[in-house]
Amino acid sequence: MLPARAAPALLAATLLASPALAASDFSTAIEGIELRPEVGTGIYGYEATGNVGATSIGLRDFDRRRILLWDGRADLTLGAVANEHPFAMLYGAQATGEAEGGLRLSPQRALSAYASVGLGASLSAVTQSGVPFDGGATVNSLDGLGGVLGSADVRLGFGGSYLKERRSLLFELQPLAEIDSAEANQPALGLFGGALHARYDVLDRFVALGDLSYALAPPRGDAALGIESSTSRWILSGEALQRWGRFFLGLGLSVSRAETVVAYSGGTSFPTVAPILSRLYLLVGFWP
């Protein structure tokens, strides 16, 4: 499956990007071993997990014209999920990676038009205690919490770049295309949409980024049942990281919601809106 193969390779590239690119005019790199306690809510109820792994986030510019930025993370996960009771134990691993190459069209100026191409991938292998990772389609998505799932996306970016000696600000409108692996209640999906993205970096010290996206899958028909269904999804996310010497501290939030509309050949349609999925996490880390 393409997402599952792409995520580890992309993550490795993002985690290794900073030492491989030594010559630059502006750089921010916050990376190391991290502990990330997280709480979340969704159709499954409530979630609390502890995640331990490695993270790397950074930005480099070259001759004030070319920009490379990355954001990668890999974690081992252990925690619990519950609706009312009893609690179910969770364990597994997760990895995400994003990389973007951009071009400042007026490099001699602090404020310049900006164009970019970005790639992203994610892989999640999380399951309940006593349930194998290959437990089958009935437990593949754990009602939106985890399972063996993957995704990959490509984005184009058009916007602006403000670059000074110690600060960088990027703001973009991004058309996007995404592939999501199959879940328990839906087949693999190809989604198309757009995103608003902003990122602010302070020289080798601070990173803040935010993203608001909306994507829609083309309608899928079932001639035997006489129905056509379409799925849409929006995601709002943000993260901020601050470094002090070898230590760094961060805070992140993600909120998303999906809607599926089933239309019958007679003209009647029924929308199904899933509960909001939310994640709030604290990140504490150090460079050993």
- Per-residue pLDDT tens for 63-88? 899 999 999 999 999 998 887 667 78
Over residues 113-129, the mean pLDDT reads: 91
Question: Residue for token digits 């999920």?
Answer: 81
Query: DSSP code of 223?
Result: T
Cis amide prior to 86 (ω within 30 degrees): yes
What pLDDT does 165 receive? 86
Angle among Cα 20, 245, 13 to the nearest 5 degrees reads 25
- Per the confidence metrics, is the pTM higher than 0.85? no
pLDDT at 1 over 70: no
Is there a contact between 43 and 130 (Cβ–Cβ < 8 Å)?
no
- Residue 256: both structure tokens together: 């998303």
9-39 core/surface letters (b: 16 or more CB in 10 A; e: else): ebbeebbebbeeeeeeebbbbbbbebebebe
pLDDT at 108 over 70: yes
d(CA 168, CA 68): 12
Query: In the structure, what pLDDT confidence band is assigned to residue 154 with cuts at 50, 70 and 90?
Result: very high
102-121 core/surface letters (b: 16 or more CB in 10 A; e: else): bbbeebeeeebebebebbbb
Give strand ranges (E) for the chain. 26-42, 45-62, 66-82, 88-104, 111-128, 147-163, 167-180, 189-202, 206-216, 220-222, 227-244, 247-264, 269-273, 277-286
What pLDDT does 134 receive? 63
Neighbours of 226 (CB within 10 A): 11
d(CA 56, CA 64): 22
Question: Residue for token digits 């069209």?
Answer: 105
Phi, psi of 185 (to 5 degrees): -110, 10
Q: For the chain, list the domains and their CATH numbers.
A: 2-286 (2.40.128)
Query: In the structure, what pLDDT confidence band is assigned to residue 249 with cuts at 50, 70 and 90?
Result: very high
